[in-house]
A and B are shown apart, each in its own frame.
Chain A
Amino acid sequence: MPTIKEIQDTIIDEFSLFDDSEDKYQYIIDLGNKLSPFDTKYKIPENEIKGCQSKVWLNSSLKDNKVFFEADSDGKIAKGVISILVRILSGQEPEEIVSNELYFIDKAGLNTLLSMNRANGLASMVKQMKLHALAYKTKLESKK
């Protein structure tokens, strides 16, 4: 399993292939289309990430001390964005998810595409995923 840093660097490389912002959007949309199917039983209000115009659902589980995320959205761009975050953070250890900085957003030029404003909810997505990881981290530490 590559590290959070390694996956981010790969994503930065992939986005560097596109000069045009529209092509970057197309890539984000395509990534969203490839996201693993999300079990509809998890499409409940408790799993909704607030702060996005599109609905975004996030569910997580802990397996072998690693956090696994699954997500979905009714918006294609939001789905693409959350799929990138799932790709980076799913399968990582809680501590890693909490402590790693997500520098790919700036480095891949996504900051201009997906400004951290309330409409697209990128900030809310990152925060929510880190909160899930923090909860697992606390749970694991209390067992020690």
Chain B
Amino acid sequence: MGLSKEELLEKSGKLYDIEHIRKDFPILKQTVHGKPLVYLDNAASTQKPQTVINALTDYYSSYNANIHRGIHTLAEKATSAFELTRETLKLFINAPSVEQIIFTKGTTEGINLVASSYGRQNIKKGDEIIVSGLEHHSNMVPWQMLAVEKGAFVKIIPVNNAGDLIMEEYEKLLSDRTKIVAVNHVSNTLGTVNPVKEIISLAHKKEAKVLIDGAQAASHLDIDVQDLDADFYVLSGHKLYGPTGIGILYGKKEILEAMPPYQGGGEMIREVSYEKCSFNELPYKFEAGTPNIADTVALKYAIEYLDKLGKASIRAHENNLLQYTTEQLKHIDGLKIVGTAKQKVSIISFSIEGIHHQDIGILLDQHGIAIRTGHHCTQPLMGRFNITGTSRASFALYNTIEEADKLIAGINKAIKMLR
């Protein structure tokens, strides 16, 4: 049984000053269809604090220049800001060294990089790759493509009715043929927090490498890649209050060093002649071409913003919203929460008997409430629950109990219109 609204408000108020925090996010001030925006699509992308927006403007207004090889002042300033973000990310995930932080466009590119470089080098005919039934298409399709190319097989860890991975089945899937295990830290559709440390440890017993998709975890959970003993960890900046188009791939040093480059071009080479070339060292070996400098520079400010508030406070606040909203949703006739895992982040997927999720999404938008509807890029998971999609509300550090109330009222109103 959840806490009452008053108890929650008091508890949340002690965590941090939510009104003050909301002022840091200029986008939240607007109205949509004449109603104050209630942004509950944070699992798709989070909004950006003013410091991140300022960092982008500042970069282009005062020190935009191509990095690393320039000897002039602007190039040096840009290079140092760019590399500072790498340092910040190293601390953020507790990586042993900065050269293990490779900048990518985002999670999807990180996974494709590993599948293409490590995968092509190491996967052979008859090998097995294990992914989970909770995966986003981004952590499924690159492995399927690799498997097809190499004559390997993709095995799926099944999901139980609550949305937890069935660990006994995972153990049965593991064998000497298993070469890679790729699972998400947190499910984007159901919010399930997966036991990744255990998953990694079991895989290592079979000498398989493990990639963790941290896209949905990074804004909620403390990430410690060394404690997890992850071989690869990937995440996206835009899901943790940073800009779009920037993310990281973390990898163990000896693995990254042995991997061939992903793309050829500038930055990733040491020497080039017409006959051959030698490759640059980590992390530049994997960063061909002029990188996304502005967004990389600004990502540091997002991490600093998170660090200032503290993940523990954020988690406690979001968990209050999760518990409160879940409890309120249970009172709605015909509403079923999809995903009731033991450990969840503030993502709630639901379906309502006889009502299409798209209709709910359209009508909530009329109230200024932004949620996501559809299959959430997890079609196999939808098949597992015999549904074509869900409505998904996902909460972030700036959401309030009042917004949760508006969501509930909006759903009730929409049901009235649709039934």
Chain A contacts to B: CB under 8 angstroms: 21-22, 25-26, 29, 52-55, 74-78, 119-120
Assuming the contacts A21-B33, A21-B366, asked whether A75 and B359 have C-beta atoms less than 8 A apart, the reply is yes
Say yes or no: is B389 at the interface (Cβ < 8 Å to chain A): yes
CA distance A52 to B374 in the complex (A): 10
Number of A-B residue pairs having CB atoms within 8 Å of each other in the complex: 41
A76's partner among B359, B366, B388 (CB-CB below 8 A) is B359
**Which partner residue on chain B sits nearest A77 by CB separation?**
B359
Cβ B417 vs Cβ A74 within 8 A: no
- For residue B366, which residues in chain A have a CB less than 8 angstroms away from its CB? 21-22, 25
- For residue B373, which residues in chain A have a CB less than 8 angstroms away from its CB? 53
Cβ B418 vs Cβ A53 within 8 A: no
A78's partner among B358, B388, B389, B417 (CB-CB below 8 A) is B358
Cβ B356 vs Cβ A76 within 8 A: yes
CA distance A9 to B171 in the complex (A): 65
- For residue A55, which residues in chain B have a CB less than 8 angstroms away from its CB? 388
Cβ B389 vs Cβ A53 within 8 A: yes
Say yes or no: is B362 at the interface (Cβ < 8 Å to chain A): yes
CA distance A76 to B414 in the complex (A): 11
Interface residues on B, range: 10 to 19
Cβ B358 vs Cβ A119 within 8 A: yes
Cβ A75 vs Cβ B417 within 8 A: no
A26's partner among B355, B357, B374, B417 (CB-CB below 8 A) is B417
12 sampled A-B residue pairs with Cβ under 8 A: A21-B366, A22-B363, A25-B362, A29-B359, A29-B418, A54-B359, A55-B388, A75-B356, A76-B356, A76-B359, A77-B358, A119-B358
Cβ A53 vs Cβ B374 within 8 A: yes
**Which partner residue on chain A sits nearest B375 by CB separation?**
A53
CA distance A120 to B363 in the complex (A): 12
Cβ A25 vs Cβ B358 within 8 A: no
Cβ B33 vs Cβ A77 within 8 A: no
**Which partner residue on chain A sits nearest B374 by CB separation?**
A53
- For residue A77, which residues in chain B have a CB less than 8 angstroms away from its CB? 358-359, 362-363
- For residue A25, which residues in chain B have a CB less than 8 angstroms away from its CB? 362-363, 366, 417
Q: What is the distance, in angstroms, from A37's C-beta to the closest C-beta of chain B?
A: 17
Cβ A75 vs Cβ B363 within 8 A: no
- For residue A78, which residues in chain B have a CB less than 8 angstroms away from its CB? 356, 358
- For residue B388, which residues in chain A have a CB less than 8 angstroms away from its CB? 55
Assuming the contacts A22-B366, A25-B417, A26-B417, asked whether A53 and B358 have C-beta atoms less than 8 A apart, the reply is yes
Which B401-419 residues have C-beta < 8 A from chain A?
417-418
CA distance A55 to B356 in the complex (A): 10
Which of A21, A26, A53 is packed against the most chain B CB atoms within 10 Å?
A53
CA distance A73 to B373 in the complex (A): 17
**Which partner residue on chain B sits nearest A20 by CB separation?**
B366
Cβ B418 vs Cβ A76 within 8 A: yes
CA distance A54 to B359 in the complex (A): 9
Q: Quick one: CB contact mask for B371-390 with A, threshold 8 Å, 1 for yes?
A: 00110000000000000110
**Which partner residue on chain A sits nearest B356 by CB separation?**
A75
Beyond A77-B358, A77-B363, 17 extra complex contacts between A and B, CB < 8 Å:
A21-B366, A22-B363, A22-B417, A29-B417, A29-B418, A53-B356, A53-B357, A53-B358, A53-B374, A53-B389, A54-B356, A54-B358, A55-B388, A75-B356, A76-B355, A76-B359, A77-B362
Q: What is the distance, in angstroms, from B321's C-beta to the closest C-beta of chain A?
A: 26
Cβ A74 vs Cβ B362 within 8 A: no
Cβ A120 vs Cβ B33 within 8 A: no
CA distance A13 to B258 in the complex (A): 70
Q: What is the distance, in angstroms, from B150's C-beta to the closest C-beta of chain A?
A: 32
**Which partner residue on chain B sits nearest A80 by CB separation?**
B359
CA distance A26 to B356 in the complex (A): 15
Q: What is the distance, in angstroms, from A77's C-beta to the closest C-beta of chain B?
A: 5
- For residue B374, which residues in chain A have a CB less than 8 angstroms away from its CB? 53
Which of A21, A52, A54, A120 is packed against the most chain B CB atoms within 10 Å?
A54
CA distance A74 to B356 in the complex (A): 7
Which of B355, B362, B389, B417 is packed against the most chain A CB atoms within 10 Å?
B362
CA distance A140 to B374 in the complex (A): 41
Q: Quick one: CB contact mask for B349-366 with A, threshold 8 Å, 1 for yes?
A: 000000111110011001
**Which partner residue on chain B sits nearest A74 by CB separation?**
B356
Assuming the contacts A53-B373, A74-B356, asked whether A120 and B417 have C-beta atoms less than 8 A apart, the reply is no
- For residue A21, which residues in chain B have a CB less than 8 angstroms away from its CB? 33, 366
CA distance A22 to B418 in the complex (A): 12
Q: Quick one: CB contact mask for B263-280 with A, threshold 8 Å, 1 for yes?
A: 000000000000000000
Q: Which 10 A-B pairs have the closest CB atoms?
A: A75-B356, A53-B358, A54-B358, A75-B358, A76-B359, A77-B359, A54-B356, A76-B418, A22-B366, A75-B359
Q: What is the distance, in angstroms, from A12's C-beta to the closest C-beta of chain B?
A: 21
- For residue A52, which residues in chain B have a CB less than 8 angstroms away from its CB? 358
Q: What is the distance, in angstroms, from A45's C-beta to the closest C-beta of chain B?
A: 14
Q: What is the distance, in angstroms, from A65's C-beta to the closest C-beta of chain B?
A: 36
Q: What is the distance, in angstroms, from A107's C-beta to the closest C-beta of chain B?
A: 20
CA distance A82 to B221 in the complex (A): 45
